[in-house]
Amino acid sequence: MKFRHDKVDVILLGVMAISAVILILLAVLGHMKGWHLLNYVVLICGVVLLLSVLIRHAMPEYHRPEEETIPTLLIGLMAICIGASNLYGLVEWLSTLIIVVLAVLIVAYRLRQWRRKSR
């Protein structure tokens, strides 16, 4: 199984589960509304996915190719955009999402070109 060899995914999945349980507990105790609960879960999952990409990029033993990390990075940034936009009252989250996705794709393309030239 993949999880036996990859400790980063197991740890980050645990962080997501613990944060979701804490948020559900806050909602049950009446400190948070249900809609905010969903937005916070989406935001935390996006941050954890972004941390996953950064950890994989920083640690060579857990490094994955760009074909696997760029979709994770995009999904994480999309989740952050959607969660934060709904929490802070930005109604136009779709335009923010499109700008972030295009910026990531441009940076990834430029990095790929730069790596090909340096070889």
In this predicted model, what pLDDT tens digit does every residue of 18-37 receive, in sequence order?
998 998 898 888 888 777 88
Shortest CA distance to 49 belongs to which of 17, 83, 19, 77? 77
pLDDT at 117 over 80: no
pLDDT at 39 over 80: yes
List, for residues 51-73, the tens digit of each pLDDT value: 988 888 888 777 777 667 778 88
Say how far apart CA 71 and CA 117 lie, in whole Å. Answer: 24
Tally of domains within the chain: 1
**The pTM of the whole model exceeds 0.75:** no
Tokens of 109: 């393309």
Kindly state the average pLDDT of the residues 108-113: 74
Using a 10 angstrom Cβ sphere, with 0-12 exposed, 13-18 middle and 19 or more buried, the burial of residue 114 is: exposed
Q: Residue 43 belongs to what domain range?
A: 2-118
pLDDT at residue 119, rounded to an integer: 62
Say how far apart CA 74 and CA 79 lie, in whole Å. Answer: 9
82 Cα distance to chain centroid: 11
Ordered DSSP codes for 57-75: HH-GGG---HHHHHHHHHH
